[in-house]
């Protein structure tokens, strides 16, 4: 295996006196790079918690999070071997695996991380109540390079709307910039996704408060008729301040993907560490409660897209046969 490609951020596999011991066999200390996204979004929040929990659970692992421009940068960085792992939203992953607009990737899934029900947030005193009410208005669709604008594009396309023509689309340099733009009126709405997503939490916690706009039941049916890979998802009541009712929407699952040549033994160790500490991860970050072995098997578009080292562990624990 190519040591340089395993640890692109100046890390090395170390086996020797400093390595942990299991019987007579040393466990190599392994440093793993993890691409996230721009500050203020859900991926850095998740990625930092992922690294903290994993590093604490296995002293031979050092996972190093790295801010990137998001999913659309993470995929080529993985392909070039400049990252070992990276967080990738469901829609960019779907397009990359399917070869939509590009050659299909040969990356692998380490784990599904959380579901991403997409919706808009507006100020509580906003006059806008439906998606069509927002037509012609300035809307922040997420950070450049992130998966959020791609999810929005599919949702809107299912309703016969074009993101860059029917709205005054705004793309952010930093995911964390969106909430203030809603609060001060620079944009009428902020598009986002997920449970406990920081942008939604910030607007909901602001002085103006928040109201969420998701597709109606009829709109969800229309969207899925055109884009069946999007799944019905629910934001449970209480996911955000003053959100007293569940919100039905649709979206997909985000993943931690690995570079194609991540060694099987490294992927196995990562999976074993991650799923042995599911309870601690859930306690640290609410979104991480969805990061389970069972959800990974259910969310993967095809079983063969899950890394072989991960599948070996899943067979051992009985999640797959």
**Mean pLDDT of the 115-138 span:** 97
DSSP 8-state symbol, 306: B
* Domain co-membership, 143 together with 170: yes
Distance (Å, whole) CA 316 – CA 321:
9
pLDDT band at 146 (very low <50, low <70, confident <90, very high): confident
pLDDT for residue 25: 57
Q: Pick left, alpha or beta for residue 238 (phi over 0 → left; psi -120 to 50 → alpha; otherwise beta).
A: left
* Domain co-membership, 236 together with 127: yes
Residue of higher predicted confidence among 15 and 226: 226
- Nearest CA to 122 out of 107, 140, 105, 95 is that of 140
Judged against a pLDDT cut of 60, whether residue 22 lies above it is answered with no
Judged against a pLDDT cut of 70, whether residue 308 lies above it is answered with yes
pLDDT band at 26 (very low <50, low <70, confident <90, very high): low
Asked if residue 124 is part of any domain, the answer here is yes
pLDDT for residue 19: 38
**Mean pLDDT of the 99-118 span:** 96
Judged against a pLDDT cut of 50, whether residue 1 lies above it is answered with no
Q: Pick left, alpha or beta for residue 23 (phi over 0 → left; psi -120 to 50 → alpha; otherwise beta).
A: left
Asked if residue 9 is part of any domain, the answer here is no
Q: Give the HSE-up count for residue 13: Cα atoms under 13 Å, Cβ half-sphere.
A: 13
Distance (Å, whole) CA 33 – CA 259:
11
* Domain co-membership, 128 together with 204: yes
* Domain co-membership, 246 together with 301: no
Q: Could you please report the per-residue DSSP string of 69-112?
A: S-HHHHHHHHHTTS-SEEEE-HHHHHHHHHTTTSPPP--EEEEE
Asked if residue 227 is part of any domain, the answer here is yes
* Domain co-membership, 237 together with 257: no
pLDDT for residue 7: 43
Q: In this structure, what CATH number is given to the domain that contains residue 214? A: 3.40.190.10
Judged against a pLDDT cut of 50, whether residue 298 lies above it is answered with yes
pLDDT digits (tens, 9 = 90+) for 205-226: 999 999 999 999 999 999 999 9
With beta carbons less than 8 A apart as the criterion, state whether 291 and 277 touch: no
149-161 residues labelled b (16+ CB within 10 A) or e (exposed) = bbbbbbbbebbeb
Asked if residue 38 is part of any domain, the answer here is yes
Asked if residue 209 is part of any domain, the answer here is yes
- Is the pTM higher than 0.85? The answer reads no
pLDDT for residue 27: 61
CA 79 to chain centre: 18
Q: Please tell me the total count of domains within the chain.
A: 2
**Mean pLDDT of the 57-61 span:** 94
Helical packing angle, 90-98 and 71-79, nearest 10°: 40
pLDDT for residue 9: 39
Residue 33's SS3 state is strand
- Nearest CA to 119 out of 299, 248, 253 is that of 248
* Token pair listed for 251: 């979206």
Question: Which structural domain, as residue segments, surrounds residue 209?
Answer: 116-252
Judged against a pLDDT cut of 90, whether residue 62 lies above it is answered with yes
Backbone angles phi, psi at 132, to 5 degrees: -65, -25
**Mean pLDDT of the 31-60 span:** 95
Asked if residue 81 is part of any domain, the answer here is yes
| Four-residue CA torsion sign, 211, 213, 218, 220 | negative
**Mean pLDDT of the 39-60 span:** 95
* Domain co-membership, 135 together with 198: yes
* Domain co-membership, 35 together with 134: no
Round the average pLDDT of the chain to a whole number and report it: 91
- What percentage of the chain reaches a pLDDT higher than 90? 85
pLDDT digits (tens, 9 = 90+) for 78-98: 999 999 999 999 999 999 999
């Amino acid at each position: 295996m190519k040591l340089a490609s395993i640890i692109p951020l100046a890390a090395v596999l170390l086996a020797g006196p400093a390595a942990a011991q299991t019987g007579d066999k040393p466990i190599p200390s392994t440093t793993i790079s993890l691409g996230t996204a721009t500050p203020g979004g859900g991926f850095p929040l998740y990625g930092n918690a992922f690294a903290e929990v994993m590093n604490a659970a296995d002293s031979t692992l050092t996972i190093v999070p790295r801010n990137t421009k998001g999913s659309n940068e993470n995929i080529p960085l993985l392909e070039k071997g400049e990252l070992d792992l990276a967080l990738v939203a469901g829609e960019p992953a779907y397009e990359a695996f399917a070869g939509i607009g590009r050659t299909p990737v040969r990356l692998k899934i380490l784990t599904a991380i959380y579901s991403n029900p997409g919706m808009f947030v507006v100020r509580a005193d906003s006059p806008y109540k439906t998606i069509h009410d927002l037509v012609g208005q300035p809307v922040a669709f997420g950070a450049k390079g992130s998966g959020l604008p791609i999810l929005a594009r599919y949702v809107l396309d299912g309703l016969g709307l074009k993101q860059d023509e029917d709205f005054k689309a705004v793309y952010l340099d930093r995911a964390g910039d969106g909430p203030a733009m809603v609060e001060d009126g620079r944009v009428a709405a902020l598009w986002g996704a997920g449970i406990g997503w920081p942008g939604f939490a910030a607007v909901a916690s602001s002085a103006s408060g928040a109201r969420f706009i998701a597709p109606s039941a009829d709109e969800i049916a229309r969207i899925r008729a055109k884009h069946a890979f999007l799944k019905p998802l629910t934001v449970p009541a209480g996911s955000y301040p003053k959100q007293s009712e569940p919100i039905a929407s649709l979206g997909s699952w985000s993943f931690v993907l690995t570079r194609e040549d991540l060694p099987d033994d490294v992927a196995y160790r990562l999976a074993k560490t991650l799923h042995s500490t599911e309870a601690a991860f859930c306690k640290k970050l609410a979104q991480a409660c969805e990061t389970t072995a069972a959800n990974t098997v259910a969310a993967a578009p095809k079983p063969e897209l899950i890394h072989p080292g991960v599948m070996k562990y899943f067979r051992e624990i009985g999640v797959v046969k």
